[in-house]
Amino acid sequence: MSKHVLVAEDDATVALLIKDGLADLGATFDVETVSSGEEALERVKEGKWDLVVTDQRMRGMSGLQLIESLKDKMPAALTILITAYGSDEVEQAARRLNVYHYMTKPFPLVDLKRVIEEALAYSQDVEPPAPDGEREKQALKISLGGDGNVGKTTLIRRLCTGKFDSARVMTIGVDFHLYDIQHDDRATRLIVWDVSGQDQFEFTRRAFYRGSKAVGLVYDVSRRTSFERLPKWREEIRAILPNVPFVLAGNKTDLTRQVSTAEGLALAKAWRVPFFETCCVHGGGVREFFHALTHYAIDFSHGPSAHHRTGGRFACH
């Protein structure tokens, strides 16, 4: 039997994008949209919904107010909160209300589809799902920085799908992806933020560095300018996150080199950061690069100076 998902979104264009986009991605659940929290409550009274997805900032009732009203009537109601105006206060309120997942815009629809499918799978359990913060899975935000067209998006796709996609799609401002990883025998969810390397997006991406537990700096070994601009990227990120750990990656090793392995290693040694060389075509070094980011993010989440204890441990290629 098909599952039913109700989406509360007061922007008609966004609502249509979500409904049609999920269908285009092959969603196996039914999606209906409403334009307000008040309308969502009325629709819930009319019939059974397996999941309610709501935007936080809407005219009239907010997303959190909608969720609170739902929980009063149905404590086990399954909900997802999305917002373009995330804050610690909103996230903490979502956790108190046992929101299944909290998502910050912008995000690719494929990630929303994945979260919905996971939530619906959990809904089949006898007990209602615990909130994200109380499950065994630890969530870590990491970011990738570097010039445009160095392959940051392709690295993420290779990690998530195990495949190489040669089609280049420029990241518009910021994008993010979810990836579940087993690290040191612990289930960990990576929230990987892919910030655009184009100069026109500099102002946009600065805000999205905040909260990152580790940052991957990526350059293209076949394009020297991307290597030479790494200090600029490091300086930009350090201005927002002065203590965040870095991991360095020289990507596209299948192409004719303009930057040698020795040069990459020398820069990593000077900065005292781990170094990897990666190839999205063959997959070489990709998982190792992200595992290193996970390791340093976990250390950093235990204290800003914790990563210094393992400096250089992953320095390899």
| 53-92 pLDDT tens trace | 999 999 999 999 999 999 888 877 889 999 877 677 888 8
Residue 74's pLDDT is 81
- The residue among 313 and 237 whose pLDDT is bigger is 237
Domain total in the chain: 2
Do 59 and 19 belong together in one domain? yes
Q: Residue 132 in contact with residue 81, Cβ under 8 Å?
A: no
The domain boundary, picked from 134, 167, 201, lies at 134
Do 66 and 167 belong together in one domain? no
Structure tokens at 164: 């190489």
Residue-wise pLDDT tens digits, 2-45:
899 999 999 888 888 888 888 888 889 999 999 999 999 999 98
Domain with 154 in it: what CATH number? Answer: 3.40.50.300
User: What are the phi and psi torsion angles at 57 (to 5°)?
Assistant: -95, 105
Is the predicted pLDDT of residue 127 greater than 70, yes or no? no
Candidate from 55-69, 200-214, 258-272 with smallest mean pLDDT: 200-214
- The residue among 173 and 276 whose pLDDT is bigger is 276
All residues at 6 or more sequence positions from 117 whose CB lies less than 8 Å from its CB, including other chains: 27, 28, 29
Do 289 and 178 belong together in one domain? yes
Residue 306's pLDDT is 45
Q: Residue 48 in contact with residue 4, Cβ under 8 Å?
A: yes
Ranked by mean pLDDT, which of 41-55, 109-123, 238-252 comes out on top?
A: 238-252
Q: Residue 167 in contact with residue 216, Cβ under 8 Å?
A: no
pLDDT band at 176 (very low <50, low <70, confident <90, very high): low
- The residue among 316 and 37 whose pLDDT is bigger is 37
Is the predicted pLDDT of residue 311 greater than 50, yes or no? no
Is the predicted pLDDT of residue 191 greater than 90, yes or no? no
- The residue among 85 and 226 whose pLDDT is bigger is 226
Q: At 212, which amino acid appears?
A: S
What H or E segment, with its residue span, contains residue 232?
A: helix 230-240
Is the predicted pLDDT of residue 124 greater than 70, yes or no? no
Q: Residue 63 in contact with residue 45, Cβ under 8 Å?
A: no
How far is it, in rounded angstroms, from Cα 114 to Cα 110? 6
Closest by CA position to 188, among listed 255, 250, 132: 132
Candidate from 181-195, 199-213, 294-308 with smallest mean pLDDT: 199-213
The domain boundary, picked from 95, 116, 134, lies at 134
Do 130 and 149 belong together in one domain? no
Structure tokens at 116: 């919905």
Structure tokens at 122: 């959990």
Q: Tokens 């989406």 label which residue?
A: 7
Residue 137's pLDDT is 58
- The residue among 253 and 17 whose pLDDT is bigger is 253
User: What are the phi and psi torsion angles at 5 (to 5°)?
Assistant: -115, 130
Ranked by mean pLDDT, which of 18-32, 79-93, 157-171, 292-306 comes out on top?
A: 18-32
The domain boundary, picked from 87, 110, 134, lies at 134
Q: Residue 313 in contact with residue 307, Cβ under 8 Å?
A: no
Domain with 34 in it: what CATH number? Answer: 3.40.50.2300
Do 211 and 276 belong together in one domain? yes
Percent of the chain surpassing pLDDT 90: 40
Is the predicted pLDDT of residue 49 greater than 80, yes or no? yes
What is the residue-averaged pLDDT of the chain?
Answer: 80
Do 168 and 73 belong together in one domain? no
User: What are the phi and psi torsion angles at 118 (to 5°)?
Assistant: -65, -40
Q: Could you list the residue range(s) of the whole structural domain that residue 78 is in?
A: 4-134
Using the CB atoms, write b or e for 142-152: b if 16+ within 10 Å.
bbbbbbbbbbb
H/E/C letters for each residue in 74-136? Answer: CCCCCEEEEECCCCHHHHHHHHHCCCCEEEECCCCHHHHHHHHHHHHHHCCCCCCCCCHHHCC
In a domain, 87, yes or no: yes
pLDDT band at 168 (very low <50, low <70, confident <90, very high): very low
How far is it, in rounded angstroms, from Cα 156 to Cα 179? 9
Residue 71's pLDDT is 86
pTM of the complete model beyond 0.85: no
Structure tokens at 169: 């799609």
Is the predicted pLDDT of residue 132 greater than 50, yes or no? no
Q: Residue 53 in contact with residue 82, Cβ under 8 Å?
A: yes
Residue 205's pLDDT is 54
Is the predicted pLDDT of residue 308 greater than 60, yes or no? no
Q: Residue 275 in contact with residue 248, Cβ under 8 Å?
A: yes
Do 253 and 287 belong together in one domain? yes
Q: Residue 315 in contact with residue 261, Cβ under 8 Å?
A: no
